[in-house]
């Protein structure tokens, strides 16, 4: 006997229009997180020079955190009745940012480029947080926490770029 296919439904109290808005917004965040985790692994594999090992080892926990962010966003999409798209095609179809510019390069060069990647992702998260104010506070809270964690790692990156001369 075939199983009956159930219509997806979102949480109680969220209109279908708001759920659609939030799902679309979260899909953009999922695409950004999936791209960021790939970029972080690329940096991990290609960073060289003085303080290589510290930066190399600093990046893997951040990859894990960004993967957890992506997973939480994807699960929120599903909770809202959507179907999260986690493929490379989903990223490239909607991507409006340039590819990470460096291959094998020195620590300061990678960290400066990575700082720019975090600027982009954090700024987009903050825009999404604002858009969620009247749509879904639960999703807004999710992104607020994730943004705080991203900002902390960006601080780590920037601490490596500090110089004594100011």
Q: What is the pLDDT of residues 78-136, one digit of tens each?
A: 999 999 999 999 999 889 999 999 999 999 999 999 999 999 999 999 999 999 999 99
> How far apart are the C-alpha atoms of 88 and 14, rounded to whole Å?
30
Q: How many domains does the chain have?
A: 1
Phi-psi sector, 126: left (phi>0), alpha (psi -120 to 50), beta: alpha
Contact 2, 32 (CB under 8 A): no
Confidence (pTM): 0.92
Domain assignment of residue 102, yes or no:
yes
Domain boundaries, position 111: 16-160
pLDDT for 113 equals: 98
If one compares 81 and 5, the residue with the highest pLDDT of the two is 81
Domain assignment of residue 47, yes or no:
yes
pLDDT for 101 equals: 96
If residue 105 lies in a helix (H) or strand (E), which one and from where to where?
strand 105-106
Domain assignment of residue 10, yes or no:
no
pLDDT for 164 equals: 59
Domain assignment of residue 3, yes or no:
no
> How far apart are the C-alpha atoms of 45 and 57, rounded to whole Å?
11
pLDDT for 94 equals: 86
Domain assignment of residue 61, yes or no:
yes
Instruction: Say whether pLDDT at 4 is over 70.
Output: no
Return the structure tokens found at 77. Answer: 């999409």
- Binned at pLDDT 50, 70 and 90, residue 11 comes out as confident
Q: What is the CATH number of the domain that holds 109?
A: 1.20.1260.10
Domain assignment of residue 84, yes or no:
yes
CA gyration radius, the chain: 18
Domain assignment of residue 2, yes or no:
no
Domain assignment of residue 11, yes or no:
no
Name the percent of the chain lying above pLDDT 90. Answer: 86
Return the structure tokens found at 125. Answer: 């998260």
């Amino acid at each position: 006997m075939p199983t009956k296919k159930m219509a997806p439904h979102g949480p109680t109290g969220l209109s279908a229009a708001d759920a659609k808005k939030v799902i679309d917004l979260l899909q953009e965040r999922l695409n950004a997180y999936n791209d960021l985790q790939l970029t972080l692994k690329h940096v991990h594999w290609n960073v060289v020079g003085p303080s290589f090992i510290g930066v190399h080892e600093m990046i893997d926990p951040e990859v894990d955190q960004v993967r957890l962010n992506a997973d939480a966003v994807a699960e929120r999409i599903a909770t809202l009745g959507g179907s999260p798209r986690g493929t490379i095609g989903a990223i490239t179809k909607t991507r409006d940012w340039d590819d990470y510019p460096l291959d094998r390069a020195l620590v300061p060069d990678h960290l400066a480029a990575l700082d720019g990647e975090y600027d982009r992702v954090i700024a987009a998260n903050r825009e999404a947080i604002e858009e969620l104010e009247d749509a879904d506070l639960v999703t807004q809270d999710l992104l607020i926490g994730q943004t705080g964690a991203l900002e902390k790692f960006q601080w780590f990156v920037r601490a490596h770029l500090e110089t004594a001369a100011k």
